[in-house]
Amino acid sequence: MPLEIKIQKDADPKKSGVVTIILIGSLDTATAPELDRQMMQCLAGRVSDLVFDLAGLKFVSSAGLRLFTVARKQMVARGGKASLINMQPQVEEALAIIQSLPGFNLFRDLAALDRYLAERQGSHFKPPESGENN
Amino acid sequence: MTLELKATPEEVMRAVETLEQFARVNGVPEKIVFGLMLALEECGSNIVNHGLQRDARQKFQVTIERTHDGFVIELHDRGPAFDPTTAPERKPPTEDDAPGGWGIQLVRGHIDEMHYRRVDGENILRLVKHVNGPGKRQSLS
C-alpha cells in the first residue's frame, strides 16, 4: 500500500508561504516515516500555511494522524496554521473517533480553503471566482 | 487463513492488504473493510513497535476468518505480556498533549469485540467484527 507525496509551493507571490502536501494512497506505519522526512524538510523553509490535501488518501492510521499533529504543533510554534482538506469519509470518521485534532482547520474543498486563506492574508490574496475549485 | 509475519511495519501492511483482499472478495461494505484494516494495522503495529521492538528476526502470526456473522482476526506474538483491552480511554487531545497514542481508541471505534489472553508466554488478541447479512464460515486458501 504505497504513499505518493507531492509538495506544492504556490508560485503566486500573493500566496507565498502556503505549502500544500498532497497525499495519495496509504498513510500507515510503513509509509509514515517517509512523509515525516519530507515534511520536516518542507518545514525547514518558509511556511506560513501548511495544507494537507487528502483527496487521494484512501487509508490513514494513527501513525499518520500523529504526523498531522506534529506538523500542526510546528506551525503553531512559528505563528502559522495547518489545515486538512478533501478528506474521504473514512478518514473523517477516524478523526471523529479521536475527537479530532485540536486546532486544525478542516475544509471540505479547495474553495473553502481559499476563502479562509483570503481572510488570513487580507487584501494580498483573493480566491478564484466561485465554481473554479469544486 | 494464517499469516506468519516478521516484526516489521512492511509485514504489518502485507497482512492488512491480505485482509483487504479477503474482505472485498467476501463482499464486505467499504466502510467495514476500512475499519477491519485499521484495527489490524493498529494492533499489528503495536506488536511490532512495542512488543517485538521492530526486530525482523522476531515473528508474529495473524489469522483471518470469516464467520457466519462477521470476521475474526487473531494476533499471536511472544513479546512481553500486554493486554490492550485494559488501556484507558484517552481523553480528547489538547494543545499540550504529546502527539500519538490513539491506536487502541481507533480499534475500539471500529471493532465490536476485543478479547485478550496470555497462554504459555504468548499474547493472543482476538478482534471480532459483526457484519450484517449472510455469510458462511470460510477461510482464504
Instruction: For residue B45, give the nearest of A29, A76, A97 by CB distance.
Output: A29
Per-residue pLDDT of chain B (141 residues; tens, 9 = 90+): 999 999 999 999 999 999 999 999 998 988 899 999 999 999 999 999 999 999 999 999 999 999 988 999 999 999 999 999 887 766 655 555 655 568 888 898 889 999 999 999 999 999 999 986 443 333 333
Per-residue pLDDT for A24 more than 60? Answer: yes
CATH no. for residue A33? Answer: 3.30.750.24
Pairing mode, strands B2-6 and A105-107: unpaired
| Residue position matching grid coordinates 512481553 | B80
Question: Per-residue pLDDT averaged across A38-50, rounded?
Answer: 91
pLDDT band at A126, cuts 50/70/90?
very low
Question: Per-residue pLDDT averaged across A56-70, rounded?
Answer: 91
Q: Which CATH architecture has domain B2-87+100-130?
A: 2-Layer Sandwich (3.30)
User: Does some domain include residue A64?
Assistant: yes
User: Does some domain include residue A134?
Assistant: no
Chain A interface test: which of B102, B105, B106, B110 (most A C-beta within 10 Å): B102
**Grid coordinates in use for A74?**
510546528
Buried b / exposed e over A54-64, threshold 16 CB at 10 Å, is beebbbbbbbb
Between chains, do A30 and B10 touch, taking CB under 8 Å as contact?
yes
Between chains, do A94 and B12 touch, taking CB under 8 Å as contact?
no
Query: Which H, E and C letters describe A8-41, residue by residue?
Result: EECCCHHHCCEEEEEEEEEECCCCHHHHHHHHHH
Chain A interface test: which of B6, B11, B106 (most A C-beta within 10 Å): B106
User: Does some domain include residue A130?
Assistant: no
Between chains, do A73 and B99 touch, taking CB under 8 Å as contact?
yes
Size of interface A-B (CB pairs under 8 A): 80
User: Does some domain include residue A131?
Assistant: no
Predicted confidence at residue A60, as pLDDT, reads: 93
**What range does the domain containing A100 cover?**
3-124
Give the total number of structural domains in chain A: 1
Instruction: For residue A61, give the nearest of B30, B31, B41 by CB distance.
Output: B41
> Complex ipTM, two decimals?
0.85
- What residue spans define the domains of chain B? 2-87+100-130
User: Does some domain include residue A132?
Assistant: no
Predicted confidence at residue B105, as pLDDT, reads: 84
Instruction: For residue A103, give the nearest of B38, B49, B95 by CB distance.
Output: B95
Total-model pTM: 0.84
Radius of gyration of chain B (CA): 15
User: Does some domain include residue A133?
Assistant: no
